[in-house]
Amino acid sequence: MRIFIHGNSGTPSNFKNIAEREDILLTIAGHGGSKAPAKCDLINLGRLLGEEISGLTVSDIPYQIIAHSLGCNVTVHAIKHLLDTGKSLPEKLTFIAGPLLTKVEQLGELFSSEHSGSIFTQLNPLRKSLERAIILNNLKNDSVNQFIEGFKITDPNFRVRFIDSVSKGEFLNELEIIKEQTIPTYFLLGSKDPFINKENLFEQASQVENINFFLLEGLAHYPHLENPSLLKKTLLALEQEPFHHYKLEVNGKLMEQGN
């Protein structure tokens, strides 16, 4: 069983061209037309998602989680909740464009200086910032509509409350959680992602034996919207390939090694 988790100001429908009929697409609190919780910190969001996952899964049925961007962070916190409550954990994780949070003083290292990334932190993102993000992420036709729709049906209070909680350090060390649980984890990153600090993500992948990194050449922050057929093929290939950790080094050769 596969469970998909969308990103900040996204919707489950973002995966409509990726998911199979039997897959499950979940909604992060405050998204998809739902009201943002009073507490939008990752610990609370992870608890809510963890409760939903535990209600869907049976202990003897294996499942995996495929998450995008913020969905990756919420998923890691959900795993901690599942662990603390004695529930079954996923057998595999696939994180798309999702660097893991570690310490509040290291937040600036995770993301690029691209100014349109502010759309994920603002009550009402500027139209010109949304338009720039669309261009930088090579979104066209239906993918543009899905992108815009996600922002329209997300409670804008979510973005403000969430970024406020992160700035206060209200989150767990996600890299340590993944390392301790030894769940096979794939990092997928578009080579043209405008929002993520690629070198930092490479470094995270190189530190943990149960993380494997793959670079999606030519794609940006929304590969499931930009080129769903390619991402679908990539996920299928990962299903068929035994997990191997590739020791990465932070240097100019990483982009060649990580695909």
pLDDT tens per residue, range 194-253: 999 988 888 888 888 888 888 899 999 999 999 999 999 999 888 877 665 554 443 334
Query: What pTM value is reported for the model?
Result: 0.92
- Other residues' Cβ atoms within 10 Å of the Cβ of residue 62: 13
Residue with the larger pLDDT of the pair 200 and 147: 147
CB–CB of 163/209 below 8 Å?
no
Scan for tokens 């068929």, then name that residue.
Answer: 240
- How confident is residue 114, by pLDDT bands cut at 50, 70 and 90? very high
What average pLDDT is seen over the chain?
90
Distance between CA atoms of residues 212 and 200, nearest Å: 14
Q: Is 127 exposed, middle or buried (0-12, 13-18, 19+ CB in 10 A)?
A: exposed
Mean pLDDT of all residues in 156-183: 95
Q: Is 22 exposed, middle or buried (0-12, 13-18, 19+ CB in 10 A)?
A: exposed
Check residue 246 and give its pLDDT: 52
| CATH pick for 2-257 out of 3.90.1300.10, 3.30.565.10, 3.40.50.1820, 1.10.10.10 | 3.40.50.1820
Structure tokens at 4: 């998909």
Whether residue 257 has pLDDT greater than 90: no
Distance between CA atoms of residues 214 and 159, nearest Å: 29
Check residue 207 and give its pLDDT: 83
Mean pLDDT of all residues in 113-126: 95
Mean pLDDT of all residues in 54-65: 82
| Cα 208–Cα 5–Cα 129 angle in degrees, nearest 5 | 95
Q: What is the pLDDT of residues 62-113, one digit of tens each?
A: 899 999 999 999 999 999 999 999 999 999 999 999 999 999 998 989 999 9
Check residue 242 and give its pLDDT: 66
Structure tokens at 171: 């989150």
Q: What percent of the chain has pLDDT over 70?
A: 92
Check residue 245 and give its pLDDT: 54
Distance between CA atoms of residues 184 and 161, nearest Å: 31
